[in-house]
């Protein structure tokens, strides 16, 4: 089987899969559940100087989107430091402590966790285009800590490459990308209420729909810095992990999919990832890092010049391609898919809709 072991910022992990900071890792028992399903390291729920007052309700599914108005940990930092972190350390996996939010908060907390964590992850929240709060938090952490400092970035930064370079210059040892999007609003039309509680009813958006944005951020960041990028956002299967690695990630974090489907999804992704390496004849997970980034620019972008090929031997006539062909180029004639090359616009949608890869472009 392919070797999934990695070394990131000097931290040895048996695989590159971690839970992201959130309710999955809110206390000792929840962390134990994700450790038991085989994760390579643990990132804990974000702690801050004051415990959060989490509104109810605070999580909802709306189609393929997941929304939350969840906050940082509602458990006081003293309990984390005196009980929870030491108990997690005994579980035998690397421990990454998530902390937030201001430089003053980090200056207060960092000395207290210095001997407990293998690394820290700074959550500096939604910065817009002003990097100063993030940079001040990084400098505060580096002032008190000799362990790696990771910083998690929000997806509302216009020039993410510049932001990444500034973070590295300030001392960040790795960048985690991305945080959830938002805020957004989802309304229950029967009750005429927001689906989430809190002051505004707004929530942060995650789930598979944000994956392309996360991958773009990973790609842009990895081109601009020579420190590791940890990918997070929209992972629901092992193939998503491979995409993030090819874009430049060195490890990944998962939250939403494990909330919806349960912690066993970590095991499924890890096992499938090993098989993917074997299928493509990669010996190590590190072999796929930057495979997309390292290609020549002209080789990264497809350019279809002829209509698709349809493998009639495997086509099962599910009609997905027909229903979504806005150019009416596909039809069924005599129980076979037929393509009208005169009307086909070579948009590519049919190939992505086919569940069995019966449609391909040269």
Strand partners, 152: 123, 176
CATH code for residues 302-360? 3.30.70.20
- What is the dihedral sign for C-alpha 195, 179, 158, 245? negative
CA distance linking residue 292 with residue 299, whole number of Å: 9
Q: What is the pLDDT of residues 149-176, one digit of tens each?
A: 999 998 888 889 999 999 999 999 999 9
Q: What is the pLDDT of residues 219-244, one digit of tens each?
A: 999 999 999 999 999 999 999 999 99
pLDDT number for residue 129: 72
Q: What residue ranges do the domains of the chain occupy?
A: 6-288, 302-360
* The domain defined by 6-288 carries CATH number 3.40.50.300: no
Q: What is the pLDDT of residues 69-99, one digit of tens each?
A: 999 999 999 999 999 999 999 999 999 999 9
pLDDT number for residue 126: 59
List helix spans (H) across the chain: 28-36, 77-79, 85-89, 103-113, 132-144, 160-170, 211-224, 238-247, 256-261, 264-279, 297-300, 320-323, 349-353
Six-digit token string for 226:
């020579």
The model's pTM? 0.93
């Amino acid at each position: 089987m392919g070797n999934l072991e990695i070394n990131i910022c000097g931290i040895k992990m048996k695989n590159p899969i971690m839970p992201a900071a959130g309710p999955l890792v809110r206390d000792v028992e929840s962390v134990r559940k994700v450790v038991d399903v085989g994760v390579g390291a643990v990132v804990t729920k974000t702690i801050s100087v004051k415990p959060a007052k989490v509104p109810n309700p605070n999580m909802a599914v709306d189609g393929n989107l997941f929304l939350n108005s969840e906050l940082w940990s509602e458990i006081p930092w003293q309990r984390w430091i005196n009980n929870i972190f030491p108990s997690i350390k005994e579980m035998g996996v690397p421990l990454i402590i998530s902390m937030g939010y201001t430089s003053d908060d980090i200056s207060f907390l960092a000395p207290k966790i210095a001997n407990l964590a293998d690394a820290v992850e700074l959550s500096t929240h939604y910065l817009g285009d002003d990097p100063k709060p993030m940079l001040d938090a990084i400098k505060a952490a580096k002032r008190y800590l000799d362990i790696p400092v990771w910083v998690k970035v929000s997806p509302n930064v216009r020039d993410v490459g510049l932001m990444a370079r500034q973070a590295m210059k300030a001392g960040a040892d790795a960048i985690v990308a991305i945080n959830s999007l938002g805020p957004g609003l989802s309304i229950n039309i029967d009750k005429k209420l927001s689906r989430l509680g809190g002051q505004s009813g707004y929530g942060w958006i995650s789930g598979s729909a944000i994956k392309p944005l996360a991958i773009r951020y990973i790609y842009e960041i990895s081109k601009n810095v020579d420190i590791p990028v940890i990918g997070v956002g929209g992972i629901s299967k092992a193939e998503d992990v491979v995409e993030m690695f090819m874009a430049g990630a060195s490890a990944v974090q998962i939250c939403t999919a494990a909330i919806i489907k349960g912690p066993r999804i970590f095991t499924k992704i890890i096992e499938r990832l090993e098989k993917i390496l074997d299928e493509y004849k990669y010996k190590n997970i590190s072999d796929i890092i930057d495979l997309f980034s390292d290609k020549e620019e002209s080789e990264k972008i497809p350019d279809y010049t002829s209509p698709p090929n349809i493998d009639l031997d495997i086509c099962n006539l599910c009609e997905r391609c027909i229903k979504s062909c806005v150019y009416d180029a596909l039809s069924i004639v005599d129980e076979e898919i037929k393509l009208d090359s005169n009307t086909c616009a070579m948009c590519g949608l049919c190939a992505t809709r086919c569940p069995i890869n019966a449609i391909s472009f040269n």
